[in-house]
Amino acid sequence: MTIQTLLQSELWREFETNEARRNVDPVLTLKSLIEYHLQAADMLELADEIGGDMRRNGVTEKEADAVIRRYRAEKRRQRDTA
């Protein structure tokens, strides 16, 4: 499916109708959903990497959580300034 076929689909019309009821721009909602998806994928990838590093280096889960929180905060700052 291309973006053009999505925009012409019943799914998109339904989405637009739903967002109109909420008085929200569907394009902005879609943009937010894509950003959320990309951020979640980044976090999962990072968690996998950290998990492997943690096991190899004997880092505690608490220490790894702190690294992830700092990483997420940095990503948020970067996204908010973009």
The reported pLDDT for the residue numbered 56 is: 79
pLDDT, tens digit, 9 for 90 and up, residues 15-45: 999 999 999 999 999 999 999 999 999 888 8
Scan for tokens 């008085």, then name that residue.
23
Whether the pLDDT of residue 50 is over 80: the answer is no
Mean local confidence (pLDDT), 71-75: 89
pTM, rounded to two decimals = 0.59
Which sequence spans correspond to the domains of the chain? Answer: 3-81
| Encoded tokens for 79 | 């996204």
Between 58 and 22, residue with greater pLDDT: 22
Class of residue 15 by CB neighbours under 10 A (exposed 0-12, middle 13-18, buried 19+) = middle
